[in-house]
Structure 1
């Protein structure tokens, strides 16, 4: 019995040493250098001083309480975001599996066998046994399992970043859909007011025609304007309904009536200076860039796993328990049995498959690196585009407002001259169309200006935090953890 325990102790010592050695091994190569090639500052940034607006929580950035309530409903009910959260849970479970694969699996067993052989004199003998077994435990000398664990970790972290990116996109889409409803309603009101004006003009022209002052031409021109305005009313009624349907889909439920905007919105944020920070801030504020970094790290870990396949692997199966031909003697002294069965797998010739797998993993890392760099460049371009729009939107709004004032004045003068009999009704129609078109263009530009503020907040990476005081910390990737060792 003493000899058995001595052998068992040595086996445990060897196994422990193997595990310790395995923890120190890694076939992972050096991480590639990232060259995004973007400028340090934005060309048209209003302010790079101070913190980026992306570091504000959405409840502090957006000023309308109805809008923030709608956003909260969307974050709780949107199906895309819910799917992203479920994917994170699945990845977390997969990471736990990969982590557990590095540990020995212990199973209990009981058995009963009925044997007949030459050893028993060809008599039927019963054998009872109970025990514990370690089944196919791989000694991770070359870090294959550790690399696979790193892959699972990076994939899990990447999905967390995907969820954050989905949240940012959702907040932006909900805000823009809410504004679309507001401005569709504003266009509907403009069309209804125009229809009322055209009906009044039609009635006036009909009276003038009835008493013989004018010919039938002005009357029919007024009728054309009435029907055109009526068609616009129907069109904008449809747009209002469609805008509400789109908003309901994003939110994941019917938005309560009291949370819908009743008039065109003049502002969505209290901010007057939209600080962008430096372009390098995108690396920490944009979750899609974080996701690309995690994917790159996972590809590096895959190389380690592929390289480890080039070397021999050792698996260990062991059992320890009790066995007896008599059930009553099963737990008595002398019934202890044990076995250790290590197996060595040595790659000899596989037609180059393992080396090809290493090459595939290396190419995948190069693809992930290019994707990471492209993601950074795309983020910089999106911010720059939003800033380019913002740089001139104020001047365009002022010019369009002046145009609306001029066309309204022209329409008023033309209408007065027509009523005085100085000009024909065609001049009034032309002036009225210009005024109506200018007012519609002003509404569209006002909506674009507000959408631009939302777009800038989104492209800078805003929307992950709820309040300014919240902290967002991204877990280091396996590559970052390797650098810090």
Structure 2
């Protein structure tokens, strides 16, 4: 009994000495400084406050709101075939594999090693005369090793959790890449729609110019016009034809751009028909902005996971200051000089079992430097998270303000276009009746063309801003797709 008590006292003394020595490498003066912002405490601008309504967050397929089946098809093609999304998916698989690798360090490790060697000894002065001279012998070994990390200070578990957090971050980043791709496809599609609209305007202008030329010829034949008027009426026709050719080229390039975004060749893009976009549904905000924005935007979610991962990294660095204890053991048997049957009989059996302790005593400041670096990584992640969160609210406020102003501009521009059209119809009628000059027609024609183009641009811009709002709200990412944990905060 006294011997057993003595053995236990020796064990406790070893533990106490280990902790005392490891305590010599202190962590004093090293602590993170970053503090994550609370979204609910951030002030929102007037645009957000006035626009907040009890609406739903964007659906997963938010682009279907524009009512164009062709657009739905091309977004689906891009999502399935884009090389950039394939790269993002590969990074997610890699991150998940790294998480599994880190988790395996917490489990029991069992390894086996077996060697079977047959020796043929030569006949020479070094071995003979004797038993080995010219003999054949076996040198066989087999062992089974076991190890298990006790993880007394949480180093392995925190390393696993950090890898899992990074895997979550990678998945959110992949969703952000998908959202950006979808956004780029829809933007390119809107640009294609605008080019078709501009082509219609130029084609209508060409028809008007041909009408004016016909009127000039009629006036000349009637004796109330001049050859100069006819020459002036013919002058803008080549430039208008050039503009049509330029728009046809732009339409072809936009088709090729859409094909490239979808991971297709130009031949696939040539099949695109004219877009038929509409913006029938009014735009509104959910009543939970900005509270639920943390779980709706993938870039904000990715930043949150990054903060959580770096907080785990600090815990891993802290655990490095304490002794690492593993339970190790081995089972084995060996034969030397005997045959295969003796090896299989396993007569020379051996085993070992006990703790393996790794103790930091003096490392030249390596552990403190590592902890300081982990703290800096955490502060950087918090700063990036705060920046992303502030930018997210800024994106929503800016887009709402632009949408409100664009709506007013469309109304005013529509009124100006109607007036320009009426003026053009009047001046053409007067010119055809022999009243007024061609310069009057040309001046009003330019005003009408400019007004029509400006209206088409504003309508396309309104749809583009609606896309921008969908992206600012997370583009259908959804709180159900992410964990509800918040970034770890540390105070030391």
C-alpha separation in 1, matches of 2:181 and 2:346: 69
Contact 2:322 2:360 in 1 (8 A): yes
Distance of 1:215 and 1:97 partners within structure 2 = 88
1:396 and 2:409 matched? yes
C-alpha distance in 2, partners of 1:70/1:202?
Answer: 43
Offset at residue 209 of structure 1 (A)? 5.0
CA–CA distance in 1 between the matches of 2:171 and 2:372? 29
Match among 377, 388, 407 for residue 364 of structure 1? 377
Alignment match of 1:35 (pick from 37, 45, 70): 37
Residue 349 (structure 2) aligns with = 336
Summarize the Cα distance change of 1:349–1:321 in structure 2 as closer, same or farther, 3 Å threshold. Answer: closer
- CA RMSD in angstroms comes to 3.3
Moved more, 286-295 or 334-343: 334-343
Task: Check the 8 A contact 2:427/2:440 in 1, yes or no.
Answer: yes
C-alpha distance after superposition, 1:257-311 (max 9, x if no partner): 89845365333xx522423332122111111100000011111111112222223
Matched, 1:79 2:87: no
Counterpart of 1:324 (choices 335, 339, 348) is 335
Q: CA deviation at 1:473?
A: 3.0
Measured in 1, the distance between the counterparts of 2:487 and 2:351 equals 42
Deviations 1:113-147 (A, max 9, x none): 5799xxxx996964322231236x65433222222
Residue in 2 that maps onto 1:422: 435
Mapping of residues 19-418 of structure 1, within 5 Å: 33-36=35-38, 39=42, 41=44, 43-45=46-48, 47-55=51-59, 57-58=61-62, 61-112=65-116, 126-134=138-146, 138-206=149-217, 208=219, 213-253=224-264, 260-262=272-274, 265-267=277-279, 270-277=280-287, 278-315=289-326, 317-325=328-336, 326=338, 327-332=340-345, 334-340=347-353, 343-418=356-431
Residues 4-24 of structure 1: CA distance to partner in whole angstroms, max 9, x if unpaired?
xxxxxxxxxxxxxxxxxxxxx
Query: Which of structures 1 and 2 has the bigger CA Rg?
Result: 2
Q: Does the 8 Å CA contact 1:288/1:375 hold for their aligned counterparts?
A: yes
Decide whether aligned partners of structure 1 residues 83 and 251 sit closer, same or farther in structure 2, where only a CA change above 3 A counts. Answer: same
The CA distance in 1 between the partners of 2:286 and 2:232, in whole Å, is: 53
Q: 1:257 to 1:84 in 2, by over 3 A?
A: closer
Match in the other structure for 1:9: none
Aligned length: 445
Shift of 1:329: 2.5
Q: Distance in 1 between matches of 2:63 and 2:446?
A: 41
TM-score (norm 2): 0.81
Judged with a 3 Å threshold, the aligned counterparts in structure 2 of structure 1 residues 60 and 220 are, in CA distance, closer, same or farther, namely: closer
Secondary structure in 2 aligned to 1:131? strand
- Give deviations 1:206-247, integer Å, cap 9, x for gaps: 554577644444333323321221121122112211211121
Counterpart Cα distance in 2 of 1:413 and 1:398: 23
> In the aligned structure 1, how far is the partner of 2:450 from the partner of 2:487?
57
Uncovered stretches (5+) of structure 2, i.e. residues with no partner = 1-26, 122-129
The alpha carbon displacement at 1:378 in A equals 0.4
Residue 409 of structure 1 and its aligned partner are, at CA, apart by 1.0
CA distance in 2, matches of 1:306, 1:96: 20
- Give ranges in structure 1 of 5+ residues lacking alignment: 1-26, 466-470
1:297-350 deviation per Cα after TM superposition (whole angstroms, max 9, x unaligned): 111111112222223334555321232343213343643211347543332333
CA distance in 1, matches of 2:470, 2:458: 19
1:151 CA displacement: 2.0
* Contact 1:108–1:131 (Cα < 8 Å) also in 2: yes
Q: Flag the 1:78–1:333 CA change in 2: closer, same or farther, 3 A.
A: closer
Asked if 1:474 is matched to 2:482, the reply is yes
The change in CA–CA distance for 1:305 and 1:405 in structure 2 (over 3 A counts) is same
SS in 2 for 1:472: helix
What do residues 152-193 of structure 1 show as CA deviations (whole Å, max 9, x unaligned)?
111110011011112222222222222211221121122122
Contact between 1:56 and 1:462, CA under 8 Å: does it hold in 2? yes
Match of 1:22 in 2: none
DSSP 3-state at the match of 2:357: strand
- Counterpart CA distance in 2 for 1:167 and 1:61 is 18
> How far apart in 1 are the matches of 2:31 and 2:155?
13
TM-score when scaled to structure 1? 0.82
Preserved contact between residue 66 and residue 259 of structure 1 (Cα < 8 Å) = no
- Once the two structures are overlaid, the 10-residue window that deviates more, 219-228 or 404-413, is 219-228
